[in-house]
Structures are given as C-alpha cells and as structure tokens.
Amino acid sequence: MSLFDHSIKELEAKLHNKEITVSDLVDTSYKRIKEVDDKVHAFLTLDEENARSKAKELDSLEDTIAKLFGIPAGIKDNIVTKGLRTTCASQFLRNFNDPLYDATVVEKLNAEKSITIGKLNMDEFAMGSSNENSSFTPTRNPWNTDYVPGGSSGGSAAAVAAGEVLFSLGSDTGGSIRQPAAFCGVVGLKPTYGLVSRFGLVAFASSLDQIGPLTRTVEDNARVLEVIAGHDKMDATSANIDIPTYTESLTGDVKGLKIAVPKEYLAEGVNPEVKEAVLEALRVYESLGATWEEVSLPHSKYAVAAYYLISSSEASANLARFDGVRYGVRSEKAENMIDMFKKSRSEGFGEEVKRRIMLGTFALSSGYYDAYYKKAQKVRTLIKNDFDKIFETYDVVIGPTTPTPAFKVGEKIDDPLTMYANDILTIPVNLAGVPGISIPCGFSPDGLPIGLQIIGKHFDEATVYRAAHAFEQATDHHTKRPQIGGAN
C-alpha cells in the first residue's frame, strides 16, 4: 500500500471497516521515509517509538470515529511538541529535546487521534524561501532533487509530495506554506490571521505568522483545517468565531463566482509558462460558469519592502529571548555575561537570521522608526484597503502563487534580494490578513509543478475551498506524482 493512493477520507473508511490498521499506516509512512528521505531530507526528527505505541493503542479501540483517526502527520519544527525535539532548524535550539507542552494545534490533532510521525525541516526560524537556510541540511524537491522545495515550510511540502505523510502543518509569514506547496505540487492554505491559534508556534513575526495545513487534495486540506481552527484563550490574537464544516462547501459548483485577476500578478517578472498556466486555469473556471475580470492592486508593488521592514522588526524583538540563558545553546567560549550573550547569539544564529535581526533592529532604532517601520505599517494598511475594495465586488482573487517554478539549489542563496522577490505574490496576503491557498495548476517544460493562488475575504475559507475544489475536480494536476524512490 502507498499513502499516495488514498485520501484521508478513504483511509478513514478502510480503518473503520477494519481493512487496514493504524499500525499498517504508520509502518507505510516509516517505510517510505526510509526509502526516500535520504534524498529529500524532509524530516529533522522522527518520533517512531511513540508513533508505533500510539498506533497499537488506537488499534485496540472499538470506536474509530475521529476526524483524523490514525492518520500519519508531520509537524513543522517551529511548532512545539511536548517531549519531542523542536529546533526551528537552528543550531541555537539543537539541544531543545524536551519542550514542556504541546502547541494548541498539536493538542487538537491529538484529540482527533492523528499520529505525529516526526518534525519537519525548514528555513531557520522560518526565515527563507528555499529551505537552504536550515542549519542542518537543505530539503530537496521530490520532483527533482536538484531543485529547492521552497520555504520556509519546505520540509512540510516535500514530505507530503514524497508520500511520507498524509498531511503536514506549516507556518506562513510571507508565503511560507503557499510557495513550497506550489513548488512541490501540493495544496497549502494560509488561513485568515487569527483563525488558527499561534500558541506554541515559535514566533518570527507575530502580526503575520499563521499555521496552516499542507495536503495532496483540497478535501484533505479542508478536513485538517476543521480540526485545527478555532478560538484559543492562550492566543490573544485568536478570533472568537464559529468554525464551519469546510468540507460541506466542496460542491464543485462555481457558477456565478466572480473572480478578480490583478494585472500586477501577471506583469513583468512572471515566467511565461506560469502566466499561461494561470490563464488556462481561468479558462477552466469560465467553462464551469465563473466569470473573471482584470483588476488592480496598486500598492502591491510596495509589499515586499513593507513586509521585510515589518517582519524583520518583529523578528528583532521576538528573537531577543534567545540569549543563551533560559534555554538553547550557550557559548562555552564566553568569559563574562555580556560576552556570553554576544557569543551565544553569534554562534547560534545563521547568516539569514542575523541579517533580518540587524535590519529589524535598525528599522526600530531612534531616528529611523518613523521613516521605516511606521511608514511600512501605513503601506500595510493601504494594501489591506486594496483587497477590501476588490472584495466589495468579487468573491475571490486569483493569480499565480509564485513568479516562477522551483529554482535550482544554490541558484539564489547568495543573492538575498532576488530570493526575497520570489515572495512578491504571496506577501500581500499576509499583510492584509486574508486567507490564500495554493493548488497545482500545471507543470513547466522541465516537469516542475506550477501553483495557482486563490485569495478570499477574511474568514471566508469556505469560498476559497469551494473555488479550489471545483478546479481540482475539473483537472488532473493533483493526480500526478513525483517518481522519487521508484514506482509509487
């Protein structure tokens, strides 16, 4: 049996009918990891003993009714897991082997009887767009291991694409779920800010971070969001709203759906094959009874600059807690307390993390705060207003997830500005706080996946899912599989 062959719903039925056991699923997951992860490097830490023990416990239960009963999952390594190493792919936390609590999303998965297979690789402290900033090893794209899987949730996307787990959790601060989902040919959702609790997520930029699911299909994605969404008193930014049954919105019917296509999202810099894949997707929507019109998001050209000022400023404040005192690695070369702070941080953080801390500290410093950070926040409001205006008339915004398909490992790592520009189409969604999903919509001539991004109104994930599911059912892009590790 291959995890590639079945959806979560199908496996749930097989488990309920006693055709397979949870132990079978866990065995399949670890067998696949042993086959391919030496090439993909999606996992940083495996939790095999606990996973097998939990599988046996679930196999002994008569009642198999739970939304994710026995389903193997991977957790991005910046989401805290009780007693299971959580490193944020940083040398600073390489010895953080025994966190004292589970993140709220992990508690919710456990309550629905999901099984954590292990912790997934990422760009260090979620800072990066290629997964090359992991301080342990870069993750590779399962479609072609010469290429990056995207970032920062590269391990989360690659593990699903390679068939190692049925779903994973990632975090998205400026595109870190959707961009790797696009590069790896899977489905990745960045929920509305506040829909999913951030309690237990190691903070990068607190006003932008959101946890979300990565899956092979839209239906699987909706099932996972139903579990992890909801108000949490442990998160002051958590929205207290009713959570709909998102899977009920997957009707396949998009007749009358009004689609906005920003001209800026198909402008210069977007690869011709990506543009053509998006236009072909719009033709599919037309055939399904939807309509689309070109619109403008005039302030989107300032999004990258505003994002890197805001996110780096928040990172500067959030990462100040990593000082070698309370937890994490402490330098053994220090001669006094101040020296210990400096050396622990200089040895523990990688180059990209240091770069962003310095940028953020500068933007917040006296004499520069108004010129940089405050101005960036004003631009953020203008970008949100652009979306609000469009959503007065249209149901969803559609465009490419990324300007290009995946690029080669090493191609952009020494050019941070070019790397930052790769997030130009995903960043506005985080600044506005609205939901966005990436689904497969085609392949490049090199056989690399291309992602379609669907953006919705605040807390209207149901419409985003409905639009995504209708396209998925009308096409076969989601049925294609990478051939890593032989036939699968």
Contact 436, 426 (CB under 8 A): yes
Contact 157, 214 (CB under 8 A): yes
b/e map 400-413, b = 16+ CB within 10 Å: bbbbbbbbebebbb
With a CB cutoff of 8 Å and minimum separation 6, the contacts of 417 are none
Is 176 tagged catalytic? yes
Of 62, 67, 173, 54, the residue nearest 117 (C-alpha): 54
Instruction: Please pick, among 153, 176, 312, 438, the residue that the annotation labels catalytic.
Output: 176
The span from the CA of 298 to the CA of 288, in Å, is: 29
Of 318, 323, 317, 326, the residue nearest 344 (C-alpha): 323
Of 464, 419, 460, the residue nearest 174 (C-alpha): 419
Q: Where are the alpha helices (DSSP H) in 391-460?
A: 416-421, 427-432
HSE of 342 in the Cβ direction (CA atoms, 13 Å)?
7
Apex 377 CA angle, 371 and 381, nearest 5: 135
DSSP states of 66-111 as a string?
A: STTTT-EEEEETTB-BTTB---TT-GGGTT----SS--HHHHHHHH
Where are the extended beta strands (E) located within 16-84? Answer: 43-46, 72-76
Contact 120, 33 (CB under 8 A): no
The span from the CA of 349 to the CA of 106, in Å, is: 26
Amino acid at position 358, single letter:
M
DSSP states of 213-246 as a string?
A: EEESSHHHHHHHHHHHBS--TT-TT----PPP-G
Gyration radius (Cα) of the chain, Å:
21
Instruction: Please pick, among 29, 54, 67, 76, the residue that the annotation labels catalytic.
Output: 76
The span from the CA of 462 to the CA of 246, in Å, is: 5
Instruction: Please pick, among 152, 249, 300, 316, the residue that the annotation labels catalytic.
Output: 152
Angle between the N-to-C axes of helices 218-228 and 8-16, in degrees from 0 to 180, rounded to the nearest 10: 70
Q: Which residues pair with 6 in a beta bridge?
A: none
- Catalytic site residues? 76, 152, 176
